[in-house]
Amino acid sequence: MNWDFVILAIITIVGISTPILLAGLGELVVEKSGVLNLGVEGMMLVGAIAGFAGTVFASMNGFGPLAPWIGVVAAAVCGALSGLLFGFFVLTLRSNQVATGLALTIFGTGLSSLIGLSFVGRIVPPFGSIFPPDLARDPVLKVFFGYSPIVYLALLMVVLVAWFLKSTRAGLILRAVGENDLSAHSIGYSVIGVRYAAIAFGGAMAGIGGAYFSLVITPMWAERMTAGRGWIALALVVFASWKAPRLLVGAYFFGVLMWLELNAKAGGLSFIPGAQAIPSQFWAAMPYIMTVVVLTLISMRDRVGLNAPACLGKPFLPAT
């Protein structure tokens, strides 16, 4: 077995899975509160340009190794703000969640392209390693210690989100709001407040996921650089049955599909010796085909028995 190839494959899969894992975790919390936000792609693009711009400005003003971290904070803040914009329309003005989410994606795509015009051709400083450099250079240990700090942040957030939803009072309240908003309201909980907080968290996570593209994967700005990964994050939440540990497994599954696409582009892939290689376009389409299937299941959740939060996508209409 070619161990160098295996190690490179693992590192690549973990790396390309990280942004959809981050965005998926944020959307998981949002949907657990009973809100369906289809604007993940737009929030990721807002985070991508905000993270890139924040890093550029921080490096120009002498922040040095802290510049990428400032960019991540900027991405989280701008992602949360774009999420709150969505929240204002769907929670306060009670607009349609699906239409508003699609509008947010269009808005984020256009805004990031407009702001990004000033940053074409620039490069940003890389993240410093949080482990001793010798560990990242070791042929075997780099599987565990050779990633960007954002990868470890994503793994930590899987644990924290799972713990929050299962073992905390606040997580119980959020799940109650998503399952029966009228009952939660009747015993004194602020349904709108909980959902605003969930949407802000989801936007921040999507923003950090977007920043991973502009700061780690390709540390330069390009329009629509997230390439539809926000839609995959949406599918990932359903694929994981709204459970954080399964979300991690699902993210790496989609990462394998994207890795197969990269390899097919490089030299073609064939699982049967002597057979014609499977075109790279097939692997490129697979994540999005699965996304369409999952979104279809969401629309049919009452008929197919999907274990979705009972109030998902439904506006909160308190009794007067």
Give per-residue pLDDT as tens, 157-195.
999 999 999 999 999 999 999 999 999 998 989 999 999
DSSP 218: S
- On whether the CB atoms of residues 46 and 112 are closer than 8 A, the answer is yes
The single-letter code of the amino acid at 166 is: K
CB within 8 Å of 134: residues ≥ 6 apart: none
The stretch 278-290 carries a mean pLDDT of 67
Average pLDDT over residues 3-7: 76
The encoded tokens of residue 27 equal 């959307």
Does position 128 have pLDDT exceeding 90, yes or no? no
Phi-psi group of 242: left, alpha or beta (phi > 0 → left; psi -120 to 50 → alpha; rest → beta): left
Residue 74 and residue 54 in contact, taking contact as beta carbons nearer than 8 Å: yes
Q: Sign of the C-alpha dihedral, residues 172, 174, 180, 183?
A: positive
The enclosing H or E element of 26 equals helix 3-32
Q: What is the pLDDT of residue 271?
A: 47
Stretch among 123-127, 138-142, 207-211, 304-308 having the lowest mean pLDDT: 304-308
Task: Report the largest interatomic distance among the alpha carbons of the chain, rounded to a whole angstrom.
Answer: 70
Query: Taking residues 221-246, what's their average pLDDT?
Result: 87
Q: What is the phi/psi pair of residue 278, to 5°?
A: -75, 130
pTM for this prediction: 0.89
